[in-house]
Structure 1
Amino acid sequence: MADDSAGSRPAHDRGAGPPAAELKHDAIGFLDALVIGINSTSPAYSLAAVIGPIVALVAVYAPGVVLASFVPMLLIASAFYYLDRVDQDCGTTFSWVTRAMGPWAGWFGGWAIMMTGVLVVGSLADVAVGFGLLTVGLDGWAENDAVRQTLAVLLILVMTAICVIGTEASAHVQNALILAQVACLLVFAGVALYRVYAGTGSLDAVEPSFSWLNPFGEGGAALTGGLLLGVFMYWGWESAVNLTEEVKGSGASAPGRAGIWSTVVLVVTYLSVGIAVVAYAGPAYLAENAAEEEFIFAQLATEALGGWDWLVLLAVSTSALASTQTTIIPASRTALSMARRGALPAPLARINPRFRTPDISTWGVAVVAIAWYLVVNQISENALFDSLTALSLLIAFYYALTGVACAVYYRRHLTESLRNLLLIGVGPLVGAGLLFWLLVESVGDMADPANSYSGTSWFGLGPPLVIGIFIVLVGILVLAAQRLAGGPFWRERRGVADPVLVPGAHRGPGPGEEG
């Protein structure tokens, strides 16, 4: 495949002329992209959902596991940054892996990204609605499945409409939500730590210690389980890079920088609040209430803040609300990228001529996500949690694939400088290796039905693994249908990075080297 990454815009924008409608270039700035990347991880919700289970596994060493989970994320963020420099395509992993490793691997990378959106959007909306109702004192509505699910579906539709109306509108909503979320989290952390040192806490408080940052404190098996949860905490930061065609300064890799900085902001936030939670509640209390998942924050808010507990409830609600919207972005942009290359049905490539956003792919992701949410809820509430557990398989897969693609795509330039070797080659490969290891560990863990939320066997396996296998099988069927339809996409060959765009490289011949 002749490498056509010589420009700052994706390949479909060059050549015979621009298409009838394009994504709106320079729609948002670096800070907007950074906020979207942070909000996509749903910080408050992610903390609430996993801090209890992590403490149950590793006790006071939970902050160390949170820090250790950051390492593969930072290494993969480096891969996103350098790949975005040479191929600024909203399909990110799909486009990059296709260029580096061929269309089959690229297709499955894109499919994994789309399916993460389908699996998680309904759950995020459910949490946003539930905590929102608790915030305003409507506990009865929050406990009513019909009311909560109806409101969750309406919320998804509203957030999808905002995504379609425009990237600027999405960014404005995200900026407001991140301010409310971070402010609430900092108030909680500050009050909790003050009461720990003042000795006025109502639980078995423990003063923080530097030893808590040791991820190996409880041994290898506990660390593995904690890292799996940690990967979920950080997942989503790359939404900033999915907006690469719509961010100002794309030629200077502003989206890639936003992705890296979002992981840094996240690790600081997670460590600060995580230490405060463990210190105030104590490991025994958190371990006993680990099964409460996100509602552990509601309990701690009441204990630490008293009548101001609504602040933490609001933080979790706005966190899930923001992520409901931002999680649609990578799925819809990936679908758009795949469709315009001929890897998915052509209608998904339609861009609204007025709003210049991918309206059909955006609404398509939302409709499938709503259907998944409603169907799985009919099975059981635990089945919905099992579908979230299956996320770790997809996340680890496409992140690891991106890390490998970075080293492969830059393979002829890795020895040109020490920076290239470490940041573009070794780092992403180490990150990919860690994630592939976690993927294998996840499969083994999910095979046991006892490790699932449902605690039941589906075809002799745990429900999360069955859900993961189901997604792969559906993907194979869709891929087969597209392959039979033919098209130039399936004849693309592996390429290498354009030497002109390689950091620190000498100005070599133009693009077009073939692997």
Structure 2
Amino acid sequence: MAADTPPETTPRAATATAVPAGRGGTTVTAAPPGTAVPSGNGTPTAQAPAGTLTPDAIGFLDALAIGLNATSPAYSLAAVIGPLVALVGVHAPGVILASFVPMLLIASAFHFLNRADPDCGTTFSWVTRALGPTTGWLGGWAIAMTGVLVVGSLADVAVGFGLLAVGADGLADNSLVREALTVLLILLMSWLCVRGTEASARFQNVLVLLQVLCLIVFAAVAVYRVHAGTGSLDAVRPAVDWLDPFGAGGSALTGGLLLGVFAYWGWESAVNLTEETKDPANAPGRAGIWSTVVLLATYLAVAFAVVAYAGTAYLAGRADSEEDVFAALAREVLGGWDWILLLAVATSALASTQTTIIPASRTALSMARRRALPAAFANIDPRRGTPGTSTWWVTGTAIVWYVVIHRISENALADSLTALSLLIAFYYALTGIACAVWYRRRLMRGPGPFLLLGAGPLLGSAMLIWLLAEAVADMADPAHASSSTAWFGLGAPLVIALFLAGAGVVLMLLRRAASGAFWRERPGVAPEAP
């Protein structure tokens, strides 16, 4: 085995540290930096980091708040409700309900995989163990790129709605001011991430309570005005058949489900903090599952209220303005109290700006530990116990992406978010497959293991792969892009996704040529339960 060890894994004198192991939630004594560490199947994989993330920094409720905020409930609803109603009409709540099914199944896969391997790299680590290093690297790259794609958009929304909430409409319409404030906000949120996980969790707890409270007030007032007949728009009485996702059918349903997947995305940030959470083998996974359940209840309540109050014609007519739908509805529903909903969207996007940095930075850290990325990405601040280097790299890349894509066209950010949905479906599907493969020797032990470890995750993955294939075919037509602009004869979102995928393959090959240690790992299976 020593003959197979590359030069960069030659041991050097240093102090050993305890890091999470690859199985069972136990810990192992990590060798000094520079020593190869066995993976879950016995293959030497990576150098142990010079330090470790802060253990027991947050609890279950903190992780739940972070998982909820990472999805940015108010912003996600604001961004998708118009396009969703334009596609499926009053069946928008039904599509939101249908989109919950693959999310719950994949959240279950995250829970069980985290119990076997509580690694902050989540999908990257699990897919590597189950399917091999090349597939695992691509899964990790997809997670990192989702953060890069969306952080700028989230911060931009937080700035815009924050300015509207305080009555600074003129500044909100000034693109240069908004861009400058967005960059400053991204830097501030990154600094909070680096400062410490405990501080981040306290900040997130306040924000999640604030935005959920604002959403409840908005939904309650909207429903009351519908029943009282005091609404100013074409109100529609809510009906149970709105929960039928097949009411629109065909390509409309496919597009709607993809929007729904985007709306739920982000809950796994709770699992990316597994090494910093109390009871790391169980609490983060449960927080992820409960995040999807709370999101379902919130989304259905607000979707029913919005569709009932505004009607389908109003919402469909504003499909291209995306999050501006809520800005207009705030004035319609709440009048002079419109700042309540504006504040909800602003705090939602603000919270998600911070929490979206977490999975990208922790994934980069995990990849660097195993030499899938340069060792510098594994640096951990010895005083704060946070991955400073990987966090600032994600931040810098996200800022560059935001500034460049924002200058290309007004709707390029929307196309970027559509491309994001493809990456989300890809790495979620990989995770479900990895769960079934990793636990394959346990699937025949009874209906529980078969359903929870195999059939459920595979069903969720199959649904996401179908959505991914349908979306790629659909986005090949430039008419379906948010900007309806053709890039190289294809829709802009598909070009963005293909560009990022191609860049990932190139960087993977370059890294493999520079250091092949990670690619000598071999996939394995879950160890036998005691």
TM-score by length of structure 1 reads 0.95
Which secondary structure does the structure 1 equivalent of 2:440 belong to? coil
Question: Which residue pairs with 1:143 in the alignment?
Answer: 173
Which secondary structure does the structure 1 equivalent of 2:220 belong to? helix
Cα distance in 2 between the residues matched to 1:315 and 1:74? 25
In the alignment, is the contact (CA less than 8 A) between 1:44 and 1:316 conserved in 2?
yes
Structural mapping, 1:61-460, within 5 Å: 61-251=91-281, 253-460=282-489
In the alignment, is the contact (CA less than 8 A) between 1:76 and 1:431 conserved in 2?
yes
Task: Find out whether 1:482 has 2:511 as its counterpart.
Answer: yes
Runs of 5+ unmatched residues, structure 1: 501-506, 508-515
In the alignment, is the contact (CA less than 8 A) between 1:10 and 1:88 conserved in 2?
no
Deviation string 1:18-42 (CA, Å, 9 cap, x unpaired) is 7531000000000000000000000
Question: Which residue pairs with 2:16 in the alignment?
Answer: none
Question: Which residue pairs with 1:8 in the alignment?
Answer: 25
Deviation string 1:280-326 (CA, Å, 9 cap, x unpaired) is 11112111222221111111111111000010000000000000000
> Offset of 1:453 from its aligned partner?
2.1
Runs of 5+ unmatched residues, structure 2: 2-20, 38-47
Question: Which residue pairs with 1:493 in the alignment?
Answer: 522
Cα distance in 1 between the residues matched to 2:410 and 2:199? 33
Cα distance in 2 between the residues matched to 1:7 and 1:175? 29
> Offset of 1:14 from its aligned partner?
6.9
Cα distance in 1 between the residues matched to 2:404 and 2:311? 38
Question: Structure 1 counterpart of 2:412, which letter?
Answer: A
Question: Structure 2 counterpart of 1:322, which letter?
Answer: A
> Offset of 1:186 from its aligned partner?
0.3
* Greater shift in the superposed pair: 383-392 or 15-24: 15-24
Which secondary structure does the structure 2 equivalent of 1:390 belong to? helix
Cα distance in 1 between the residues matched to 2:352 and 2:49? 31
Cα distance in 2 between the residues matched to 1:246 and 1:368? 25
Cα distance in 1 between the residues matched to 2:312 and 2:255? 17
Cα distance in 1 between the residues matched to 2:130 and 2:181? 43
In the alignment, is the contact (CA less than 8 A) between 1:392 and 1:442 conserved in 2?
no
> Offset of 1:384 from its aligned partner?
1.6
Deviation string 1:108-127 (CA, Å, 9 cap, x unpaired) is 00000000000000000000
Cα distance in 2 between the residues matched to 1:12 and 1:57? 54
Cα distance in 2 between the residues matched to 1:135 and 1:451? 32
In the alignment, is the contact (CA less than 8 A) between 1:351 and 1:359 conserved in 2?
yes
Deviation string 1:136-176 (CA, Å, 9 cap, x unpaired) is 11111111110000000000000000000000011011011
In the alignment, is the contact (CA less than 8 A) between 2:23 and 2:118 conserved in 1?
no
Question: Structure 2 counterpart of 1:382, which letter?
Answer: N
In the alignment, is the contact (CA less than 8 A) between 2:50 and 2:379 conserved in 1?
no
Cα distance in 2 between the residues matched to 1:481 and 1:86? 31
In the alignment, is the contact (CA less than 8 A) between 2:475 and 2:491 conserved in 1?
yes
Question: Which residue pairs with 1:511 in the alignment?
Answer: none
Cα distance in 2 between the residues matched to 1:266 and 1:222? 23
> Offset of 1:472 from its aligned partner?
1.1
C-alpha spacing 1:431/1:319, structure 2 compared with 1 (3 Å): same
In the alignment, is the contact (CA less than 8 A) between 1:410 and 1:424 conserved in 2?
yes
Cα distance in 2 between the residues matched to 1:454 and 1:190? 34
Which secondary structure does the structure 1 equivalent of 2:490 belong to? coil
Cα distance in 2 between the residues matched to 1:13 and 1:383? 45
Cα distance in 1 between the residues matched to 2:174 and 2:30? 49
Which secondary structure does the structure 2 equivalent of 1:412 belong to? helix
Cα distance in 2 between the residues matched to 1:458 and 1:282? 34
In the alignment, is the contact (CA less than 8 A) between 2:425 and 2:468 conserved in 1?
yes
Task: Find out whether 1:59 has 2:92 as its counterpart.
Answer: no
Question: Structure 1 counterpart of 2:25, which letter?
Answer: S
Task: Find out whether 1:461 has 2:490 as its counterpart.
Answer: yes
> Offset of 1:486 from its aligned partner?
2.4
In the alignment, is the contact (CA less than 8 A) between 1:232 and 1:392 conserved in 2?
yes
Question: Structure 1 counterpart of 2:461, which letter?
Answer: A
In the alignment, is the contact (CA less than 8 A) between 1:5 and 1:497 conserved in 2?
no
Q: Find 1:26's aligned residue among 45, 56, 72.
A: 56
In the alignment, is the contact (CA less than 8 A) between 2:161 and 2:342 conserved in 1?
yes
> Offset of 1:449 from its aligned partner?
1.0
> Offset of 1:6 from its aligned partner?
3.5
* Greater shift in the superposed pair: 432-441 or 477-486: 477-486
Deviation string 1:309-363 (CA, Å, 9 cap, x unpaired) is 0100000000000000000000000000000100001100000001010000000
C-alpha spacing 1:10/1:298, structure 2 compared with 1 (3 Å): farther
Cα distance in 1 between the residues matched to 2:27 and 2:521? 16
Cα distance in 2 between the residues matched to 1:99 and 1:366? 28
Deviation string 1:63-91 (CA, Å, 9 cap, x unpaired) is 00000000000000010000000000000
Task: Find out whether 1:39 has 2:69 as its counterpart.
Answer: yes
Cα distance in 2 between the residues matched to 1:279 and 1:9? 51
Cα distance in 2 between the residues matched to 1:192 and 1:200? 10
> Offset of 1:225 from its aligned partner?
1.1
In the alignment, is the contact (CA less than 8 A) between 1:50 and 1:229 conserved in 2?
yes
Question: Structure 2 counterpart of 1:296, which letter?
Answer: V
* Greater shift in the superposed pair: 299-308 or 5-14: 5-14
TM-score by length of structure 2 reads 0.92
Question: Structure 2 counterpart of 1:92, which letter?
Answer: T
Cα distance in 1 between the residues matched to 2:509 and 2:301? 47
Which secondary structure does the structure 2 equivalent of 1:125 belong to? helix
Which secondary structure does the structure 2 equivalent of 1:211 belong to? helix
Deviation string 1:170-229 (CA, Å, 9 cap, x unpaired) is 101101111110011000000000111111111111111111101011123221111011
